[in-house]
Amino acid sequence: MGSRVIQYQKLFDVLAATSMASWSATLESQLAEYSNNLKHGDYAKWLAAIDHLPQITPSKVVLDADCIIVGERADCTDDNTSALEQALKVLMPWRKGPFNLFGIFIDTEWRSNLKWTRLIKHIKPLHNRLVLDIGCGNGYYGWRMLGNNARHVVGVDPALLFYMQFLAIKKYIPAANIDFLPFGIQKLADFYLNFDTVFSMGVIYHRRDPVAHLRQLKNTIKTGGELVLETLIIEGEEVLIPDNRYAKMNNVWSIPNPDRLIKWAETAGFQNIRIIDITKTTSDEQRRTDWMKFESLSDFLDKQDKTKTIEGYLAPTRAILLADKP
């Protein structure tokens, strides 16, 4: 990918000062291997968009509000604004947010601030904590974590487009204590890490073995640290195993009811396990926008019965589980 894109020295320095120093060396090798073997068909187009982002110095940065705000319209010339919007639209679809860059409002598919509001009052304060965000998407939640005074945030996600969207934001906040590792959790499998808080939101139902996923998450958390896990759940039956797709999503292996989700966490060795929120997903939270023009929630539901998915399953309901590592 080249040094102009991946710059992780600050992260390496942070890890070197912790018990995760040995991971830092391996991570540097993994990132080099990833860069050398990148063969995504849209990579050149996305990288060109990043390169064409105008140089602008933001007059303000707001990370502790519903919308991540970087700069103001007054910071830009008209040409800058036009070039910025054009480049950001090359990186569509934008799914997690919202963001406002120099007066350009990116109205993302998910109003992710609603989920953040549901969890932030319940988790352990993030002040001065090292945080790992598994399946971080474009980094929206990571920026909110920094807005709540996390010491350093590390996001992990294999989707290259999400990584490019993250780079577009970080271009204007380069000193921020947040990094994005552009690969999946399997790259962490051989390490026992020591993060204070680990988030895994919208991931577990994509794993063939949910308990194995929870055990791997446990291996990334320090003793006394906290897991924040968000997932689809099902009402009534113990576990839903979709025949093919669920709400048009493939790779959904199992959706538990709340009791089974807690049992999975217990089996994985967590303690103080509790579900702090259960919320049905609505079109107020997930919908098509000018920045995400593909299908969204309304297309995933039965047209005659919105309580069912298009496949006939119960419509999406999501839960947030908190647990401690003993």
Does residue 1 register a pLDDT over 50? no
152-156 and 178-181 beta bridge pairing: parallel
In this predicted structure, the answer to whether residue 3 has a pLDDT above a threshold of 50 is no
* pLDDT one-digit tens code per residue, 90-134: 999 999 999 999 999 999 999 999 999 999 999 999 999 999 999
| Average pLDDT estimate for 199-217 | 97
Which band of pLDDT confidence, cut at 50, 70 and 90, is reported for residue 191? confident
Mean pLDDT computed over 141-151: 98
Residue of 16, 19, 57, 48 lying closest to 225 (CA atoms): 19
Distance CA 287, CA 148 (A): 27
**Distance (Å) of CA 316 to CA 95, 202, 249:** 17, 12, 11
pLDDT at 6: 61
pLDDT in tens, 212-252: 999 999 999 999 999 999 999 999 899 999 999 999 999 99
pLDDT, position 59: 98
Q: What is the dihedral of CA 235, 97, 37, 13, to 10 degrees?
A: -110
What is the rounded CA–CA span in Å between residue 135 and residue 140? 11
Mean of the per-residue pLDDT values of the chain: 95
- The more confidently predicted of residues 36 and 67 is 67
Which band of pLDDT confidence, cut at 50, 70 and 90, is reported for residue 325?
A: very high
Q: Is pLDDT above 80 for 4?
A: no
Of the pLDDT bands very low, low, confident and very high (cuts 50, 70, 90), residue 27 is very high
pLDDT bin (cut points 50, 70, 90) of residue 190 is: confident
pLDDT band for position 35 (50/70/90)?
confident
Residue 255 pLDDT: 98
The per-residue b/e assignment along 239-265, b for 16 or more CB within 10 angstroms, e otherwise, is: ebebeeebbeeeebebbbbeebbbebb
Answer for the pair 183, 159: CB distance below 8 angstroms, yes or no: no
> What is the residue whose two structure tokens read 């989920």?
115
Rg, Å, the chain Cα set: 20
152: closest CA among 173, 181, 178?
Answer: 178
| Residue that is written with structure tokens 């003993």 in the block | 326
pLDDT at residue 10, as a whole number: 93
> What angle (nearest 5°) sits at the alpha carbon of residue 215, between those of residues 239 and 149?
105
| 316 phi, psi to nearest 5 deg | -60, 130
Rounded Cα distance, 124 and 191, in Å:
24
Domains of the chain plus CATH, in order, are: 9-324 (3.40.50.150)
The whole-number pLDDT of residue 37 equals: 86
Cα–Cα distance for residue pair 249/232, rounded to 1 Å = 12
Residues 6+ apart with CB under 8 A from 256: 210, 231, 233, 234, 238, 239, 240, 264
- Give the pLDDT score at 2: 42
Distance of CA 244 to the CA centre of its chain: 25
Let me know: does 152 contact 128? Beta carbons within 8 Å.
Answer: no
| Dmax (CA) of the chain | 57
Of residues 221, 230, 250, the one with CA closest to residue 320: 230
Q: Mean pLDDT across the stretch 276-293?
A: 98
